[in-house]
A and B are shown apart, each in its own frame.
Chain A
Amino acid sequence: MPERRKVVIVGSGPAGLTAAIYAARAQLEPLVIEGEPSSNSDQPGGQLMLTTEVENYPGFVDGVMGPELMGIMRAQAVRFGAELRTAKVSRLELSSQPFSAWIGDPDADEPTVLADSLIIATGARSLMLGCPNEERLLGYGVSTCATCDGFFFREHEIGVVGGGDTALEEALFLTRFATKVIVIHRRDELRASKFMQERAFNNPKIEFLWNTVVVDVLGDTKVSGIRVEDTVTGETSELPITGLFVAIGHEPNSSLLKGQLELRENGYVQTVGGTSKTSVDGVFACGDVQDDSYRQAITSAGSGCMAAIDAERWLEELGE
């Protein structure tokens, strides 16, 4: 028989772990299926595991390292009795309650765990460019993690693709190592916050290449350049850089949910206004998997708290 839990939380970023802290304190003995190690998807600790300094998380006057913050949240969840399992959910079945979750073989007859209520906190992942040679050169000059790989680009000239906060954060971080960082953006203005824009514009090592998309990554065994296209004139040219960091946005980790609960057109989970409730009774969503607007560690944590409280109330009503 599969084990049965009152609350199962899928994902372990700020949303999942905050939900775990609240659910554990409500004595719901939550099981957190935290994900498996990865450098670019739904890994334990979430996207903050790929960042350095987090300066805007309240409570840390001098900032805190992303992985350290997640270590603290995890320890806090464990302290109150949450159980964390380093595994990835391979299949969910939401058509009947208790809900079923599979770890490992998704075709196994029996699910791994049955959940009276389910909290989806699977987050979002970085988008890749999808151009030729990008994947082949990943780890050989192409990177999705500036903090992991910036060190290897001392005295290099490198590019960062994207125009949001993440792109500028990475560009600014990379100026510690690189002699020049070229921010390549498909439009002629940035989506990033004014604060980050100002910092980037004032940094003498950062240059901007506007109205430009990357169409190919060049290089035999490591990156030697990129081919770019001007989106206004359609002209292509080559840019001799030795590193390319991709920060063009995110997509939600919602593929397990397709066809089972209401997703918005862009794949994000639809929640009922002002709550964490999804279109399926007893299934709650929090963090980046349902948020295509704010996407901050603190809003994720806040929505994780909401999900745990919503689940607790729902279980209480169920029991009555």
Chain B
Amino acid sequence: MSLDLSDKGDIMSEKIATLSDATFDEHVKASDVPVLVDFWAEWCGPCKMITPVLEEIAEEQAGKIEIMKLNIDDNLEITRRFDVMSIPTLILFKDGEPVSRLIGAKPKGQLLEEISPYL
């Protein structure tokens, strides 16, 4: 699967691809592995806190999980579809369906604990 890794200069890494309203379904449904979507925004402090944690997980669990980011400011449709009312919210999708949701910044250990049953 190829993803658009180019970005407008947001906090982003090569390990974490960017999703949008337009590309969400295509990428999340097509993925062979579970996808963890990080709903975030530039103005959210706790979102910044978890970025390095997500990058680490993306690297350590490469091939087992895809981690992607969706900027809620620019992508209201998907944000509303999943009733996101607080950020950061992480939703884990398996076969395109949401299976787990984590609200608020969490330590790495707790994130891994939450997602590992689905990997």
Contacts and interface: CB of A to CB of B under 8 A. Distances in A.
Interface of A: 36-40, 43-45, 48-52, 65-67, 70-71, 86, 88, 138-141, 143, 145, 147-149, 151-152, 221-222
Nearest to B47: A148
Interface in B77-111: 83-89, 103-108
A122 B9 CA distance: 33
Contact of A37 (B41, B103, B106): B106
Contacts of B48: 49, 67, 71
Contact of B50 (A37, A52, A66, A141): A37
A284 to B, nearest CB: 26
A302 to B, nearest CB: 22
B87 to A, nearest CB: 5
Contact of B72 (A40, A44, A151): A151
A86 B105 CA distance: 13
11 contacts: A38-B104, A39-B46, A39-B88, A39-B105, A52-B43, A67-B48, A138-B104, A140-B85, A148-B87, A149-B87, A152-B85
Contact of B53 (A37, A51, A145, A151): A37
**Most chain B beta-carbon neighbours within 10 Å: one of A88, A139, A148:** A148
A152 B84 contact: yes
Given A148-B86, A222-B85, A139 B46 contact: no
B44 interface: yes
Contact of B45 (A67, A88, A143): A67
A169 to B, nearest CB: 15
Given A139-B85, A147-B45, 12 more contacts: A36-B108, A37-B50, A38-B105, A39-B104, A44-B49, A71-B48, A141-B85, A148-B87, A149-B85, A149-B87, A151-B41, A151-B87
B52 A86 contact: yes
B49 A139 contact: no
A149 B88 CA distance: 9
Contacts of B107: 36-38, 88
Contacts of B88: 39, 148
Interface string B42-81: 0111111110110000000000000000001100000000
Contacts, number: 84
Interface residues of B, number: 26
A140 to B, nearest CB: 6
Nearest 8 A/B pairs, CB to CB: A139-B103, A39-B104, A36-B107, A49-B45, A67-B45, A37-B105, A139-B86, A37-B49
Nearest to B56: A86
Contacts of A141: 85
B60 to A, nearest CB: 15
Nearest to B49: A37
A257 to B, nearest CB: 21
**Most chain A beta-carbon neighbours within 10 Å: one of B43, B48, B104:** B104
**Most chain B beta-carbon neighbours within 10 Å: one of A37, A86, A143, A222:** A37
Contact of A147 (B43, B84, B89): B43
Interface in B1-55: 41, 43-50, 52-53
Contacts of B73: 151
A41 B41 CA distance: 20
Nearest to B106: A37
A36 B105 CA distance: 9
Given A37-B53, A152-B86, A222-B85, A147 B105 contact: no
**Most chain A beta-carbon neighbours within 10 Å: one of B83, B89, B105:** B105
A48 B46 CA distance: 10
B46 A43 contact: yes
